[in-house]
A and B are shown apart, each in its own frame.
Chain A
Amino acid sequence: MTEANNIHKDVPCTFCGCLCDDLIIEVEGDRIVKNTNGCPISKERFVGHMENRCLEPTVKGNTVTLEKAVERAVEIIMSSKRLLIYGLSSTENDAQREAYRLAELTGSVVDNTTSVCHGPTILGAQESGEATTALAEVRHRSDLVIYWGANPAAAHPRHIPHYIRQPGEYIKDPKVDRKIWLVDVRATTTSRMVDKFIKIEPGTDLEVLQTLRALIRGNKLDVSEVGGISIPDLEEIATTMKTAKYGALFFGLGLTQSWGRHRNIDAAIRLIQDLNAHTKWGLMPMRGHYNVSGANKTCTWVTGYPYAVDFARGYPRFQPGEYTAVDMLARGEADALLNIAADPVAHFPRGAVSHLMSIPVINIDPKFNMTSQVADVNIPAAIAGIECDGAATRMDGLPLYLRKVIEPPPGVIPDREILKMIIDAVAKEMK
């Protein structure tokens, strides 16, 4: 916690699903001046927290008071028939809970960035369950770690150096006693950090996973290669996996976003379950945003479902494809968008973005981003984990308390407070 003066220790980072909580943040006056231990992206996030900030609420580009911006937001919400509330993965749990409250009150849809990230992982788990592992468990016990369709060097920079290539209670020399492999369609920076890179043809993950399952079960195949990998090589991979003492499979968007979508994950889950008949294996999705795992958790305990939830009937209903943001926008179903802590204009396909640009958009975010350029209403928010506290969930399910290390810019309040204002005003309107 807070040490002498302006040095904060053990601060959880709020960039990616690693949620590293060993950051040392130094504050001088109204600036963060140093981030020790954070990766380069983390450093940018903390030290650059004041760059490109939205500092004032705007309506149609004109600065207004917060009250006026909320008023306009409420107008948009009240006159909409099919409001979509989206984002949430880059803010803390309390803000997410307010979003569900608003969605319920207005009979809207609430979706979070899971739908374009590890949504298929959840769908796969809904088919088959999920036999997971945990970060310290891997460090202590794992002698074989496989990254599949993930590029931690780019997206989770400290995953390997801070969590995986570290000695543990039962693995004393992680360079010798722990093998790290990467399976991907292309050689990335990560491939230079691991012990073995296995190239797989694009769109063949499902076949390769199922082939490994078949080989582990002792079946013989009548082809010579699958996914660009020869059968003897696959046999060797299968044997190594089967004889590992504790294996961990970390998988990323290479599996969830490729051909096969949730079927890929389903196969990976079943592979891990099969391996448990021989030895100990677990898998873990490499959650991207620092609190997308939290968004799934909060949504699940409040509504019963992890994302893509519709309240039009006065109770939660769940359906990917129907209530997922990209689909709702691409089909032109949403007639208003409340976007919180995300940037769909930058990250959604063109068709969805086109429609988004034709409907009224309320955007709540600390920084100017692409969505703020097209939003009717922009309301600046404090950065969770830097300028306001809260809780978030790490990729392996560990909840962590986020710190407030510095005051937000004047007049800028946390997402949860903004949402509360909107909810109170909407509730008043609805009376």
Chain B
Amino acid sequence: MEVTITVNGTAHTLDIEPRELLVHVLREELRLTGTHIGCDSTSCGACTVLYDGTPVKSCTVFGVQADGIEITTVEGLLTAAGLDPMQAAFKEHHGLQCGFCTPGMMLVGKCLIEQNPAPSDDDVRDAIGGNICRCTGYMNIVKAIQAAAAQQQAASTPTPANA
């Protein structure tokens, strides 16, 4: 059936089978392979995307459900000015090793710091409770997300120059 899904700001009209999972629509139809598949039991979060701004596991949503919905994937984080502060923070603080869980972690992190501008260690860990990492032991992921939050605070704090 025909659906129109907006991904990273671009509307795509696709003819897809109802049973095709959103993650496959993104990876195979739209060739956006930054969203990954790590399991088959809705357990790992490697497939996390933003669904009308809310993080969800795209392996557990049918593509047809996303008709008229705005999806953000990791590919949508890059700005005209360069890396999003979350992306930069992950690189700066060694928040990734193999990179497979990273897109999901960053998207969840972005949502978190928008709602909670100064998250504690526990706040971050709770927020990424649906995202598994096998490499990092989470320490530097937490550090990166908190650093991005601090950067966001600093950027929004008026200084004499921009008050």
A binds B: no
Interface residues of A (CB under 8 A from B): none
